[in-house]
């Protein structure tokens, strides 16, 4: 597999680093990037081929990863549309639907949409993937291999499910960061020094996530395991129930999913 990246920002850099760490040949990677600083960083750190426009190395690729900002996608694709025939295209840009990408690529249909998240930057991410029916099983495996370089993948049966995936796993880290922030603020309010409050909160979330990942039990079962009758955990969970925290979280995630669908319509306009 020879891969070309359109865009060399943080996510592209994470994917390139993850691929090379798993043994992928850096000489088989080309990047189109306009920023001199980003080009210098990629060459210095990963020794990949970098250009400011499509060149022979890009044309020789069999896979093109679209890693530019969503609002820049349409204009960026103008530079590569003529040479995309036969290539697998993998988009990691939020919001932009397959029909829009295909239209901007002159009707090309071998496209996979991927929605990764920011923990991909430390190879701890997860991505939801959806492939156009024109994508072969072998090409789906290529797309999966690229995203697995920085975490786990989940294949989706319908493209519309990208929106709830975005709401849950792509936006989700922000919800967790907010939770850490609020837990630490509560600790400070109860007299714990701020530095210690953040350490306690971050390590608690990290440890709980690792425990959940390593356990065969459901999150509900794990919760019950640490909830003693009449104890401190039960007291907190009773407040969550009284304040309808679960229902509020569900509404928040639904709002994020709805906004994802709206962005797909907005970003796909010609």
Query: Stretch 106-120: mean pLDDT, rounded?
Result: 95
pLDDT at 25: 94
Q: Does the global pTM surpass 0.85?
A: yes
Query: Stretch 91-104: mean pLDDT, rounded?
Result: 94
Structural domains for the chain: 3-162 (3.40.50.720), 172-262 (1.10.3730.10)
Give every CB contact of residue 32 below 8 A, 6+ residues apart in sequence.
4, 5, 6, 7, 8, 50, 51, 52, 53, 54, 58, 79, 80
Q: How sure is the predictor about 268, in pLDDT bands with cuts at 50, 70 and 90?
A: confident
């Amino acid at each position: 597999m020879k891969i070309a990246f359109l865009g060399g920002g943080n996510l592209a850099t994470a994917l390139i680093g993850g691929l090379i760490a798993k043994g992928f040949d850096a000489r088989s990677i080309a990047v189109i990037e306009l920023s001199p600083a980003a080009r210098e960083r990629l060459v210095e750190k990963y020794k990949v081929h970098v250009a400011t426009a499509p060149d022979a190395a890009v044309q020789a690729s069999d896979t093109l990863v679209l890693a530019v900002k969503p609002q820049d996608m349409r204009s960026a694709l103008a530079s590569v549309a003529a040479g995309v025939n036969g290539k697998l295209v993998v988009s990691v840009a939020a919001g932009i639907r397959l029909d829009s990408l295909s239209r901007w690529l002159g009707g090309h249909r071998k496209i996979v949409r991927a929605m990764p998240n920011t923990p991909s930057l430390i190879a701890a991410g997860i991505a939801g993937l959806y492939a156009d029916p024109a994508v072969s099983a072998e090409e789906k495996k290529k797309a999966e291999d690229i995203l697995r370089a920085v975490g786990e993948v989940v294949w989706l049966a319908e493209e519309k499910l990208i929106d709830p995936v975005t709401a849950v796993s792509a936006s989700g880290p922000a919800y967790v960061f907010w939770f850490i922030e609020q837990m630490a603020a509560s600790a400070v309010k109860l007299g714990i020094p701020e530095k210690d409050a953040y350490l306690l909160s971050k390590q608690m979330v990290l440890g709980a996530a690792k425990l959940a990942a390593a356990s065969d039990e459901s999150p509900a079962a794990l919760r019950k395991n640490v909830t003693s009758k009449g104890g401190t955990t039960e007291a907190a969970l009773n407040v969550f129930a009284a304040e309808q925290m679960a229902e509020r979280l569900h509404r928040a995630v639904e709002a994020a999913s709805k906004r994802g669908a709206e962005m797909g319509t907005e970003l796909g306009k010609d």
